[in-house]
Amino acid sequence: MKLTIEVWRQENAEAEGRFVTYRVDDAAPEMSLPELLDRLNDQLVSAGEEPIAFDTDCREGICGTCGITVDDVPHGKVPNTPTCRQHLRSYDDGDHLKLEPFRSASFPVIRDLMVDRSALDRVIASGGYVSVDAGTAPDADTRQIPFQVAEAGLDFSACIGCGACVAACPNGASHLFSGALLSHLTALPQGRPERARRARGVVSTTEEEFGPCSVYGECVEVCPAGIPISAISAVNREAARAAVRRRRDD
Amino acid sequence: MNTFRRIGDRIRSTFGPDSEAVSKPQTDTPDPAAAQGDPAGTPDPPARGHDASRDRTEPPANHGTRGAEGFVGYAGEPLDGNIPDGDPLTAWARRKLEYKLISPLNRRKFKVIVVGTGLAGAGCAAALGELGYNVVSYTFHDAARRAHSVAAQGGINSARARKVDNDSLERFVKDTVKGGDFRAREADCFRLGEESVRVIDHMDAIGAPFAREYGGELRTRSFGGVQVSRTYYTRGQTGQQLQVAASRSLQRQVGLGTVDLRTHREVLDLIVDDGRARGVVVRDLYSGEIEAETAHAVVLCTGGYGNVYFRSTLAHNSNVTAAWRAHRRGAYFASPSYIQFHPTALPVSSHWQSKTTLMSESLRNDGRIWVPKKSGDERPANQIPEDERDYYLERKYPSYGNLSPRDISSRAAREEIEAGRGVGPLRNSVYLDFRDAIGRLGRKTIEERYGNLFEMYFDATGEDPYTEPMRIAPGAHFAMGGLWSDYDMMTSIDGLFVGGEAGWGYHGANRLGANSLLSACVDGWFTLPYSIPDFLAGHLGEAPLSLDHPAVQETMAEVRERTERLLSIGGTRGADHFHRELGEILYSGCGVARTEAGLKDALERIRELRGQFWSDLRVPGTGRQLNQELERAGRIADYLEMAELMCLDALDRQESCGAHFREESQTADGEALRDDDGWCFVSAWEHTPGRDVHPGKPVRHVEPLDFRAVPLQTRNYA
């Protein structure tokens, strides 16, 4: 199949970006989006041009590295599917695709389709962990965790940290990401002793780094890990709870 | 002529300096067949009963069998794995007692570089940070949490032995050693099993939501190669959950200031001075800046090299560069040819397909594997009548059938494909058919069991496995080989440690399912944090090399020079062209089954391809910017060297063991024939300088393997 692809090209963070139109004449329905870019880059390198920079790694939807906005939708046409699992069979011969980076004030462009998502890691570093040193943990079988509780924790910890929720949000909020982080550790007993402390850290960094949430729900439309929308309420709930706990950590 | 030289005092003869056998050559005959016997006139090899003070079984006599004379060099003395003497069951406890300690106040005076943030690297960096050391942690990813441990699905084994299914530490070791076809270091497996208990507790405590029973206890399941239930898991995303938890622990240390995490930086060389690892040279992938960092010790947790095959189950960016650069600086590489091919990977369907995504092995519980009896049968699967189908696994291995182990299933599939009975547009796959299971159990049950996998298959191929059979093919998966290290995980370079898949040791010639997450976690959290301080303790008061030290400056200059060279070739082809071609050479020459002729042919083609690479590569752009083509080119240049060593190792090892199947070494009914008299050792290869773009002849060192708790026996699955 023949495709026309409009791609955002930007040399570096400071440079002005622009769309450049390319054609791929031998695209095939079984190709994934990163494979389409591999094909296009091969054309570019053969022609002596600089290839399109894009983030990609596991190519099976679990590492969260890839993230391209396709025709204004983070990750692409198929809902709740990461870029690397979007295939060209969703398109027809002669179609036109527009590829650009995840768009958010919190994600500065590094080059072409790559953005800096380290703000998400700063949220984690501000408290999104359990403070237990290696070797000091109690026997995991002495801590009984009901089946449903473990499953609920897993529903939230499934987040792959790709940042599509931020890119989809008109406000650039990371509440789905931050809320999944809080909900995961709040669901499990392991996370309880520092629940309030964690909430203070995570919520304040979330507010510093990202926009406010207006509960549009655009985030859950694109989330490749299927994080439930209830995650976003955890941000305000945990913040309020932490405020009531005053100086207590738990 | 052997170019063996002593790298440090740690590498000494297994048999001690006063053993009379040391100075004598090993059975030194050019004919490998003759080496099986005891050539007349050669004194008894340094074997059984020479030293009565050691109560370990001495290794089989002929640990010096040679299979690639003329292609490689052979060192005279065996390597010492530095394994504690005595009962392997208590070896780790005794060794820990021997380790020197560093007082909490002195720990901050030491700096350790940890490369990689997967389960081994993140664990090691976090644990050392928790203890109070200064850690510099490098990853080429944009975030620590993205390391490839994240993609493991099945689970993590642990010898907790809580159930009454008669599991135990000894049984864990037996399964692991036997699964590895007796090419692992038994003492390491004991440590792996012993520490596996705490690993589950720790990973649970730092937030991994392990599957639970309705009663609230941890849930386990069974995996291939074992008869007990010892695999802990979190749905089909165990790797992700462990990786997320470990990288958050790492982030905690970053917040506390003990770990300096440097993302988007790729290690391009190791700084070695006076035989000791002193630091690394890295490239900032965003700016192109070449930077150096020095420390008291360096740890490589940089993963496996299965990506050398181009299409593999690995992530796009997984590479061997850091380990390979260390190898070039003097670290021995153990068993490079031991690569596991996963039988249920997706076949290659198009030129541009970039990976062979893994489909869970569990599918083989209900799916039946077959090919048409007639080669070149063009009919769609559903039009091939029952009596024209060959359910070859059920036919060849009636008792294990479709659940035969990974290496055997992969080999059988390859035989069918090579015989022209492969299916699919490229005739490179076999069918995995659920028709009978759907007929017997109903579509609903199959949907419950495998729904997400069927969806994933549909997603990747566009074919509906409910109505037409899946197509699968063996795909390069896990590297059992890696940098050689002693029992303390130190490589043949002083101060250079290795952990996780980048190392070797536990998995022998074939890894058991759910043992890879375990080995990465154990190395990172519960082994390296003990053994590294023992090394550091001898260097209290020393400062790391200053950045203007000649060794640092020279290494940086070499990295810059190599980068410039890659950029200035000015050829016509992008790096991926060479990678793709290399993958094809390796799949056919050094793949699921190997022959002498095939390996020699591959060696020639690799050399030729390497020549082309260095004359016809095109890397657009400059080194002073984000340049993904340059990143790829550097990695592929290393793969082009690595591939040669893999083939040489495979050529040398004239036996079949685990995933390494030499067609010349098989039983009458086509099964792998291991040769314990000739090959019960691990080959650890030393790099030698070569000419032009080609590496020199590597020199093989041998560490004899000693099985005390698990007697040598033949694996049998018929």
Q: What is the pLDDT of residues B63-80, one digit of tens each?
A: 579 999 999 999 989 999
Asked whether the beta carbons of residue A46 and residue B525 sit closer than 8 angstroms, the reply is no
* B128, part of any domain: yes
More confidently predicted of B10 and A235: A235
- Average of per-residue pLDDT across B502-506: 96
Segment B292-301 shows an average pLDDT of 98
Contact criterion met (CB < 8 Å) for A59 and B316: yes
**Cα B647 from Cα B587, distance rounded (Å):** 11
Choose among B252, B350, B620: nearest Cβ to A50. B620
The count of structural domains within chain B is: 3
Whether residues A204 and A101 share a domain: the answer is no
In a domain, A250, yes or no: no
State whether B652 and B518 are in the same domain: no
Tallying the residues shown for chain A, one arrives at 250
Give yes or no for residue B365 having a pLDDT over 90.
Answer: no
Q: Which of B459, B522, B528 best probes binding to A when mutated, by most A CB atoms within 10 angstroms? A: B459
What is the nearest CA distance from A148 to chain B, expressed in angstroms?
A: 8
Whether residues A131 and A229 fall in one domain:
yes
> Is there a single domain that holds both residue B376 and residue B485?
no
Confidence band (pLDDT; 50, 70, 90) for B154? confident
Q: In this predicted structure, what is the pLDDT of residue B166?
A: 95
Q: Is residue B301 part of a domain?
A: yes
Which stretches within B402-502 are classed as H helix?
Answer: 406-416, 435-441, 443-461
CA–chain centroid gap for B665, Å, is 23
In a domain, B687, yes or no: no
Of B510, B539, B568, the position where a domain reaches its end is B539
Which range marks the domain in which residue A46 is found?
Answer: 3-114
Q: How many CB pairs under 8 A join A and B?
A: 222
Of residues B206, B216, B316, nearest to A57 (C-beta): B316
pLDDT over 90 percentage in chain A: 98
Shared-domain flag, residues A146 and A194? yes
Which B residues in the span 95-134 are in contact with A, Cβ-Cβ below 8 Å?
123, 126-127, 130
Instruction: Find the residue in A nearest to B618 (Cα).
Output: A45
Task: Give yes or no: residues B322 and B372 share one domain.
Answer: no
**pLDDT at position B92:** 98
Residue A196 covered by a domain: yes
Query: Which one of B146, B198, B574 has the shortest CB-CB distance to A57?
Result: B146
- Is B531 in the same domain as B640? no
Is residue B491 scored above 80 in pLDDT? Answer: yes
Do the beta carbons of residue B88 and residue B190 sit within 8 Å? yes
CB contact under 8 A, B127 and A30: no
Facing A132 at nearest CB: one of B205, B286, B576: B205
Q: Residue B279 is part of which domain span?
A: 107-340+478-539
pLDDT digits (tens, 9 = 90+) for A139-162: 999 999 999 999 999 999 999 999
Nearest Cβ partner for B201 among A63, A129, A137: A137
For the cut 70, the answer to whether the pLDDT of residue A37 exceeds it is: yes
Q: Is residue B708 part of a domain?
A: no
Chain B residues in contact with A38 (beta carbon < 8 A): 352, 354, 576
Q: Is residue B361 part of a domain?
A: yes
A50, A87, A129: residue with CB nearest B249: A129
Question: Measured between CA atoms, how close is B317 to chain A, in angstroms?
Answer: 6
Q: With contacts defined as CB-CB under 8 Å, which chain B residues touch A121?
A: 143-145, 251
Average pLDDT, chain B: 90
CATH number of the domain that B417 lies in?
3.90.700.10
A110 closest CB neighbour out of B286, B459, B462? B286
Q: Given pLDDT bands bounded at 50, 70 and 90, which one contains residue B449?
A: confident
With cut-offs at 50, 70 and 90, classify the pLDDT of residue B448.
confident
Say yes or no: B359 and B457 in one domain: yes
Which burial class, exposed, middle or buried, applies to B117 when counting CB atoms under 10 A from its CB (0-12, 13-18, 19+)?
buried
Domain-embedded: residue A185? yes
Query: What is the predicted pLDDT for the residue at B16?
Result: 36
Q: Report the residue of chain B nearest A28, measured CA to CA.
A: B350
Q: Work out whether strand A73-74 and strand A96-101 pair parallel, antiparallel, or are unpaired.
A: unpaired
Domain membership of residue B697 (yes or no) is: no
* pLDDT band at B669; cut points 50, 70, 90: confident
The percent of residues above 90 in pLDDT, for chain B, comes to 80
Q: Within a 10 A sphere around the Cβ of B643, how many other Cβ atoms?
A: 28
**Portion 229-248 of B in contact with A at CB < 8 A:** 234-235, 237, 239-241, 244-245, 247-248
How close does chain B come to A246, measured CA to CA in Å? 23
Backbone φ, ψ for residue B27 (5° rounding): -50, 110
Whole-number pLDDT of residue B13: 36
Q: Kindly report the nearest CA distance between residue A240 and chain B, in angstroms.
A: 23
User: For residues B701 and B455, which has the higher predicted lDDT (pLDDT)?
Assistant: B701
Measured between beta carbons, the chain A residues lying within 8 angstroms of B237 are: 62, 158
- Asked if B358 lies within 8 A of A60 by C-beta distance, the reply is yes
* Same domain assignment for residues B148 and B175: yes
pLDDT of residue B601: 98
Choose the most confident range, by mean pLDDT, from B19-23, B42-46, B429-433: B429-433
Q: Region B617-621: what's the mean pLDDT? A: 97
Q: Pick from B202, B286, B574: which is nearest to A134 by CB?
A: B202
Q: Are residues A121 and A240 in the same domain?
A: yes
Calpha distance A83→A59 (Å, rounded): 8
* Residue B504 confidence (pLDDT) above 70: yes
Q: Report CB contact under 8 Å: B626, A53.
A: yes
Contact residues on chain B for A185, CB-CB shorter than 8 A? 207
Cα–Cα distance, B587 to B578 (Å, whole number): 14
Exposed e or buried b per residue across B595-606, where buried means at least 16 C-beta atoms within 10 angstroms of its C-beta = eeebbeebbebb
Residues A33 and A86 in one domain: yes
Q: Is B90 helix (H, G, I), strand (E, B) or coil?
A: helix
Q: Is B459 on the interface with A (CB under 8 A)?
A: yes
* Mean predicted confidence (pLDDT) in B669-696: 94
* Mean per-residue pLDDT, A89-98: 97
End residue of a domain, out of A67, A98, A114: A114
Same domain for A76 and A187, yes or no, is: no
Chain A environment of B572 (Cβ under 8 Å): 46
Q: Do B350 and A28 touch (CB under 8 A)?
A: yes
Q: Mutation test of the interface with chain A: which of B217, B316, B527, B566, choosing the one with the most A Cβ atoms within 10 A?
A: B316
Same domain, B227 and B370: no
Interchain pair A60, B202: CB under 8 A: no
Query: Which of B305-319, B356-370, B463-477, B619-633 has the least mean pLDDT?
Result: B356-370
In a domain, B316, yes or no: yes
User: Considering A77, A97, A114, which residue would you say is the last residue of a domain?
Assistant: A114
CATH number at residue A237: 1.10.1060.10
CATH number reported for the structural domain that contains residue B656 in this entry? 1.20.58.100
Domains of chain A: total = 2
Shortest alpha-carbon distance between residue B657 and chain A (Å): 30
CATH number reported for the structural domain that contains residue A60 in this entry = 3.10.20.30
Using pLDDT thresholds of 50, 70 and 90, give the confidence band for residue B718: low
- CB A118 to CB B244 under 8 A? no
Q: Which of B580, B588, B649 is nearest to B609 (CA)?
A: B580
| Average pLDDT of the residues in A207-223 | 97
Residue of B nearest to A146 (CA): B216
Beta-carbon separation of A157 and B209 below 8 A: yes
The answer to whether A118 contacts B142, with C-beta atoms less than 8 Å apart, is yes
Is A110 within the bounds of a domain? yes
Q: Do B574 and A42 touch (CB under 8 A)?
A: yes
pLDDT of residue B225: 72
Beta-carbon separation of B204 and A190 below 8 A: yes
CA B81 to chain centre: 18
pLDDT band at B702 (very low <50, low <70, confident <90, very high): very high
Residue B101 falls inside a structural domain: no
For B212-255, what is each residue's pLDDT tens digit?
Answer: 999 999 999 887 778 889 999 998 899 999 999 999 999 999 99
Residues B401 and B518 in one domain: no
Write out chain A residues lying below 8 Å of B207, CB-based: 129-130, 157, 184-185, 188, 190-191
Q: Rounded mean pLDDT of B603-620?
A: 98
d(CA A125, CA B585): 45
A59/B317 touch (CB, cutoff 8 Å), yes or no: no
Mark whether B280 and B425 lie in a shared domain.
no
Q: Give the predicted TM-score (pTM) of the model.
A: 0.92
Q: Would the pLDDT of B47 be above 80?
A: no
For residues A9 and A83, membership in a common domain is answered with yes
Q: pLDDT tens, B182-210?
A: 999 999 999 999 999 999 999 999 999 99
pLDDT at residue A247 is higher than 90 = no
Give residue B224's pLDDT: 73
Q: d(Cα B645, Cα B320) in Å, to the nearest integer? A: 13
Structure tokens at A56: 């990609």
User: Which residues on chain A are in Cβ contact (under 8 Å) with B235?
Assistant: 154
> Do B665 and B642 sit in the same domain of this protein?
yes
Give B41's pLDDT tier (boundaries 50, 70, 90): very low
Domain match, B125 and B175 both: yes
pLDDT at B363: 87
Q: What is the CATH number for B244?
A: 3.50.50.60
List, in sequence order, every beta strand (DSSP E) within chain A.
3-9, 18-24, 68-70, 73-74, 96-101, 109-111, 114-115
Q: What pLDDT does residue A244 have?
A: 96
What is the SS3 assignment for A213?
coil
B709 touches chain A (CB under 8 A): no
| pLDDT value at B39 more than 60 | no
Same-domain check for residues A13 and A124: no
Rounded to the nearest angstrom, the minimum Cα separation between B159 and chain A is: 14
Backbone phi, psi, residue B685, to 5°? -100, 135
Q: What value does the mean pLDDT take over residues B35-49?
A: 36
Tell me which amino acid residue B111 is: K
Q: Which residues from A are below 8 Å from B148, CB to CB? A: 57-58, 63
* pLDDT for residue B717: 63
Query: Is the same domain home to A127 and A235?
Result: yes
A50 and A83, same structural domain? Answer: yes
Question: Are A107 and A195 contained in the same domain?
Answer: no
Among A93, A114, A135, residue at a domain's last position: A114
Same domain, A99 and A146: no
